Copies of this chain bind each other. A is one copy, B any other.
């Protein structure tokens, strides 16, 4: 048998080639591994089960609240710069998971960040936000039990940013965000305001709050935890907790999905476009069919496998079967692409149908004419 043995496969069906980097995060940044907590989570999410949520800060506190049925909150959001893609879909699903576990739910439209960082005027981000929220509702967030807001309209968040402004030195801001315009630093303070909003008296006061994010957002979390500590006496903030998920690679195998490289798809691309992007995706396949039958594929480096693992194959047994069939050389890339195209297009079609019905509701929530 090859070194990529079935034995290893079964042991690490949810691994990726980037695991080593995540290990580094544990050591260098003090992110704690999620795995030791997993067995105690009453009803772990798909992302938790699959190790996609690989790390956390202070999740013990959230777990405690879940186990004792005490109140806790979840907050995350979206920067309204474009259509829902697989990255934003992930955060949305994480929010929905925690809502279903009983969390007081907050979803933030980061339109100030979109303005300061991406120069998107508020008139434009408002339209995008309506679309994003319709997506969120179609995916399953219950708006009746959630506070959905735009930063630009949420005075409490802006006021927290003003309060926090006194603390961080310019050196701190530069260390975290680089030499940027003042507005970008301001939007970082605003984001800290978002994260601590659930703990204001208006929302029932201090409580454990979990922020599920991609690991690239870790600096924001650390920054906010520092602020929560500094202003702890005034507000009695409980340090916010976080979970970190791995980031999906681009379909071309590059480490990040990027607009410029068009190496991903959104939930609003045409079926032909999606099919074409998947067909052209980089895979973990071998040079020839013969080789692949003999040696097996390499799902751990395959963005197509990742697409299934992160999103489109929810049944754990099924995804393990795909992994093993690939590793054993039974499932070839061409067939897997065909299967994946079918699955994705079915999901997208259904999503679009549902979403249409939520546009009016999204307008109502965001108070957009």
Contact = CB atoms under 8 A, between A and B. Distances in A.
A28 B187 CA distance: 35
A255 interface: no
Given A182-B173, A182-B182, A158 B162 contact: yes
A62 interface: no
A214 to B, nearest CB: 25
A146 B168 CA distance: 36
A8 interface: no
Contact of A182 (B112, B159, B179, B185): B185
Contacts of A181: 165-170
Contacts of A152: 159, 162
Given A152-B159, A155-B155, A159-B152, A165 B183 contact: yes
Interface string A177-203: 001111111110100000000000000
Nearest to A151: B162
Given A155-B155, A158-B158, A116 B165 contact: yes
Nearest to A172: B182
A116 B167 CA distance: 9
A165 B180 contact: no
Contacts of A163: 115
B112 A166 contact: no
Contacts of A168: 181-182
A349 interface: no
15 contacts: A115-B166, A116-B162, A116-B165, A158-B162, A164-B183, A165-B181, A165-B183, A165-B184, A165-B186, A166-B183, A167-B183, A170-B170, A170-B179, A173-B182, A182-B189
Interface of A: 112, 115-116, 119, 152, 155, 158-159, 161-170, 173, 179-187, 189
